[in-house]
Amino acid sequence: METETTTKDFPVFPVRAAMEAGDGVFAAFFWALRRDLRLAMRSRAELGVQILFYIIVVALFPLSMAPDRQLLLLLGPGVLWVAALLASLLSLPRLFASDYADGTLEQMALSPLPLPAIILGKIGAHWLTTGLPVVLLVPLLSIQYSLEAEAVWVLIVGLLIGTPILSLLGAIGAALTLGLRSGGGSLLALLILPLYTPVLIFGAMAVDVVRSGASAGAQLSLLAVGLLLALVGAPFATSAAVRISLD
């Protein structure tokens, strides 16, 4: 009899067929990615709130200071990065909370499929619904900070590399704080914000370096290295944290 993993309101996933075909890792990744994207599309209001939060933070910040173009140019990249960081942090609890509450996460952990691949698929869906919209909004929101075209492009590239790191690292904290009845959000912020700091520094610094007339290759390369390390290590660390939370 074929081994199957069921998810409420979603098609049955043929575990044994995928494993016999030798593509269990990729099958698990794409199944989790499609599933979480469908779930996200069912809760468009929640996604809209997170995107609106990012827009409001970025748009209101210039109103709190004097209309000095040089000051806006100086602070703009940092504001855009901090707002992206906060938007990612705001959305992290939904990464595992609903699956943990209804027992789906435990089924995933008990499945013969590799849990790190499933986790990576969930993280990918989180980035597509949280990080990617932030990147796409940058050209529009950067107008009020009077950023030059080259600085905007570097900011976009930096966010394209950096926001997946935020999702990968944030998943570890989200898994560690599963099941906490109170204070989970505060503990999650305390765990994750120190890990986010280097990403924020290198991302904002890349724009400053370009505005000074130099190349941002070093900063973007460091972000790329961080992304590779996070892609390799974060799914396994998150899987271990999920198993600890389920025990």
Report whether 60 contacts 54 (CB < 8 A). Answer: no
> Residue 111: what pLDDT?
83
Residue 138, burial from CB neighbour count under 10 angstroms (0-12, 13-18, 19+) = buried
Question: What's residue 91's pLDDT?
Answer: 87
Q: Which residue has the higher pLDDT, 215 or 124?
A: 124
> Based on the structure, what is the number of domains in the chain?
1
Domain that holds residue 215: 2-246
- Quick: pLDDT tens for 105-119: 888 888 888 999 999
Entry pTM:
0.86
Q: What is the mean pLDDT of residues 179-192?
A: 74
Interval 49-96: pLDDT, tens? 888 999 998 988 888 777 777 888 888 888 999 999 999 888 888 888
The region of weakest confidence among 4-13, 55-64, 214-223 is: 4-13
Considering only CA atoms, which of 66, 60, 206 is closest in space to residue 147? 206
pLDDT band at 206 (very low <50, low <70, confident <90, very high): very high
